[in-house]
Amino acid sequence: MPESQVHFHRQRPTDLRKAGPGHRLRFIVRALPDGLERLAADLHVPPGGRVLDYGCADTPYRRFFDDDAHYLAADLPGNPDATLELTSEGTVPLDDESVDAVLSTQVLEHVTDPARYLEECFRVLRPGGRMLLSTHGLMVYHPDPDDYWRWTGSGLRRSVGLAGFEVVRFEGIMGLTASALQLLQDGIFYRLPRPLRPLCAFTLQSLAALADRFESPDSRAANALVFALVAEKP
């Protein structure tokens, strides 16, 4: 595949966001939307502004924006929730500097060429526009159907900076101790008899939630299951 292509595969099933007490991803499924909503306030979308959700799945975060926002939901062909169909190269059929904000949530790890994807985010943003992006740090491998990349906090900042952005806010979601408990659970979960799995998940997810209360923001920004940031196009 040519390097200029952005091509990615990923789906975000709605049922993941309805995690019950025994769900193995309960903590992050609840913590991630809360963290993204806090950061979305820093996008500063003007009244009637244009927001691009680049890899929109079932548009779970449309609610972050006012009803008068022009919400452009872009995804692979076949997604009934998308209002824009990505090109065969995975790029967005929009003019340069044509949107006020870009939303990219849990997409970058599934993109074959992250640098090209970030360049496309930069291209469509107007000067002064901002991007809200989240992607994996310490998360376990999860093909859906493909899963290519993980970042450190410094590595993600560098990748975003190389695309031309200036990072204005950076957070880790689910810090090191909680992530360690998550990975411990992931290592044993499917080895357990099926009836014991919900109990295992309930116990370790509860411990992870408790442990994360004692994690400092600086610690999370260095090591986290998921990283989230707001970056601006100068």
pLDDT of residue 4: 45
pLDDT of residue 92: 96
Residues spanned by the domain of 134: 31-175+216-232
Whichever domain contains 92, its CATH number is: 3.40.50.150
Within a domain: 182:
no
Running DSSP on this structure, what letter comes out for residue 174?
A: E
- Whether residue 193 has pLDDT greater than 80: yes
pLDDT of residue 1: 29
Within a domain: 183:
no
On average, the pLDDT of the chain sits at: 93
User: When comparing pLDDT for 142 and 5, which is higher?
Assistant: 142
96 token code pair:
């340069």
pLDDT of residue 19: 82
pLDDT band at 88; cut points 50, 70, 90:
confident
118 token code pair:
């970030």
Please give the distance of CA 163 from its chain centroid, rounded to a whole number: 17
- Whether residue 170 has pLDDT greater than 50: yes
Which of 16-25, 139-148, 162-171 is predicted with the least confidence, judged by mean pLDDT? 16-25
Within a domain: 195:
no
Question: Could you tell me which of 121, 119, 149 has the C-alpha nearest to residue 137?
Answer: 149
pLDDT of residue 8: 55
* Residue 202 · residue 183 · CB < 8 Å: no
Burial 26-64 (b: 16+ CB within 10 A, else e): bbbbebbbebbeebbeebebeeebbbbbbbbbbbbbbeb
Within a domain: 121:
yes
DSSP string across 99-122: EEEEEEES-GGGBS-HHHHHHHHH
- Whether residue 156 has pLDDT greater than 70: yes
pLDDT of residue 17: 58
Within a domain: 85:
yes
* Residue 57 · residue 155 · CB < 8 Å: no
Within a domain: 124:
yes
Write the pLDDT tens digit of every residue in 196-216: 999 999 999 999 999 999 999
Within a domain: 38:
yes
90: left (phi over 0), alpha (psi -120 to 50) or beta: left
pLDDT of residue 217: 97
- Whether residue 111 has pLDDT greater than 50: yes
- % of the chain surpassing 90 pLDDT: 89
pLDDT band at 145; cut points 50, 70, 90:
confident
How many domains are contained in the chain?
A: 1
33 token code pair:
């939307």
pLDDT band at 142; cut points 50, 70, 90:
confident
* Residue 179 · residue 32 · CB < 8 Å: no
Within a domain: 6:
no
pLDDT band at 13; cut points 50, 70, 90:
very low
